[in-house]
Homo-oligomer: A and B are copies of this chain.
């Protein structure tokens, strides 16, 4: 492969561009109207327009994207995550056009992409699953029929998109009365995110941990699992913090979970990168939840503790290389890594989306810090796409060390002009239960729902006073009277910003 088209945008497109550059492979970006000046467009070797801003008219347009791939002379396509990453038609269209799809086969996507079929595969591999519906409930299934199925499974239960992933189209349903509204919302979300409104039901395990196993499989039958990722810190079924390893997984449990994950993948002849998600119950039993047939958002924590570049390996596998990594080395984590997903959402205002222009950006640097970002100072965060603008990952000699570095990095991180979830993480990382790794998937909702657990943005009085001082200084400096009489620094700054005339 000499040239790869990245059928995605944002931080993951940038991530793939970087991996390609490290391999000496040319890159082709695609962009919608509002993304003309996005970072992935700036960093790619080529960039082609694919349509208007709405995803259905651009990043989900298989025909346009295949056409661009051919015109640009690309010989491979990386789908990233989201958009078309788990769309078997897209994988098939790539194959049909003679392009290498950097991911599993269309057949594997179809099979594991159906959450209900995937459950069957897990059962076949001898891996326990959460009790739930055998068949998908498509858009034609009436509310009454769904209610009947739900009664059989019992409440509380989880309503999930058959074509789902990333928490989209997922709802917890505590009682029958909630089902119709939840069904409507989940279907609408699923339809908009995946183009498929079918859902299924699963019993809700109370207070489970969400543990997942990264896999790589090559075209010669080798499937290798990696040390687990702990992804229990979720808000609205959306992961917000991930780490590796999990403090709740002993080496013995790790052996069993990673073997189970690899067994599921082998059962379906899986190739390229994929992830098996499990629920880990408080009693130590685990259940197959679903398989993500693509790269995960949180893949960097695995990279940080194993040293393996997963995107590079996706490409190497796709071009026919053998997976010659040492299996044992992938199961022994090197210390600890943690990731915080930085969303353009306002944690002080119900996590309301906060798109807009980034007026100022300071990215943290230094030892143990990695920032995978699609943002830059002056860039726009559009209203049309997922609000995640970057992923901050830290590595430390211990979990405490990784968390300490994360706190340091968050304190250095400034994203100005929009609101982000950075303050939310600062609150979270101070929580005693979080620090002790005492949590499950209900953690955030419980903590944030507890009255008196303190407002998220618990601004200390001292910080408030300093903010008042800073604002006063800023306004004072720019008032005409004081600017004229001010000292060198201010005027020199202004002078430096002045553009000289063309002579």
- Kindly name the residue among A22, A23, A502 whose own CB sees the greatest number of chain B CB atoms within 10 A: A22
The reply on A370 being an interface residue by CB < 8 A is yes
- Please give me the 5 A-B residue pairs with the lowest Cβ-Cβ distance, nearest first: A18-B366, A21-B408, A22-B404, A365-B371, A22-B405
Q: Which among B357, B395, B408, B479 is the interface contact of A502 at CB below 8 angstroms?
A: B479
Contact A412–B43 (Cβ < 8 Å): yes
Q: Is A300 an interface residue (CB 8 A)?
A: yes
Asked if residues B479 and A404 are in contact (CB atoms below 8 Å), the reply is no
Looking at A60-68, A123-131, A190-198, A303-311, the stretch in contact with chain B turns out to be A303-311
Residue ID in chain B nearest A304 by CB atoms: B367
**Chain A contact residues, CB within 8 Å of chain B:** 14-15, 18-19, 21-24, 37, 43, 300, 303, 307-309, 334-335, 357, 359, 362-363, 365-373, 376, 378, 395-397, 401, 404-405, 407-408, 411-412, 475, 478-479, 489, 493, 496, 499, 502
Cα distance, A481 to B473, chains bound together (Å): 38
Q: Are B359 and A366 in contact (CB under 8 A)?
A: no
Q: Is the CB of B363 within 8 A of A307?
A: no
In the complex, the answer to whether A478 meets B499 with C-beta atoms within 8 Å is: yes
Additional A-B contacts beyond A37-B489, A363-B365 (12; CB < 8 A) = A18-B367, A21-B407, A22-B405, A22-B408, A303-B367, A307-B334, A308-B397, A357-B496, A365-B371, A365-B372, A378-B493, A478-B502
Give complex CA distance A14, B475 in Å: 29
Separation of A407 and B372 alpha carbons in the complex (Å): 18
Known: A397-B309, A404-B24, A496-B357. A367 touches B370 (CB 8 A): yes
Q: In the bound complex, what is the Cα–Cα distance between A395 and B478 (angstroms)?
A: 45
Contact of A401 among B22, B335, B368 (CB under 8 A): B22
B18 touches A408 (CB 8 A): yes
Contact A373 B378 (CB under 8 A): no
* Residue of B whose beta carbon sits closest to that of A39: B365
Please indicate the chain B residues that have their CB under 8 angstroms from the CB of A368 in the complex.
Answer: 22, 309
Instruction: Please name 22 pairs of A and B residues whose Cβ atoms are closer than 8 Å in the assembled complex, sorted by A.
Output: A21-B404, A21-B407, A21-B411, A22-B396, A22-B401, A22-B405, A43-B412, A307-B395, A307-B397, A308-B397, A309-B397, A309-B401, A334-B334, A359-B496, A365-B371, A365-B372, A366-B370, A366-B371, A367-B370, A367-B372, A478-B499, A479-B502
Cβ distance A312 to chain B, nearest Cβ, rounded Å:
8
* Nearest opposing residue in chain B for A360, CB measure: B377
What residues of chain B lie closer than 8 Å to A411, measured between beta carbons? 21
Q: Which residue from B367, B493, B496 sits with its C-beta under 8 Å from A309? A: B367
Bound Cα distance from A372 to B365, whole angstroms: 7
Taken together as a complex, chains A and B put the C-alpha atoms of A368 and B22 apart, in Å, by: 10
- Nearest CB of chain B from residue A378's CB, rounded to whole Å: 7
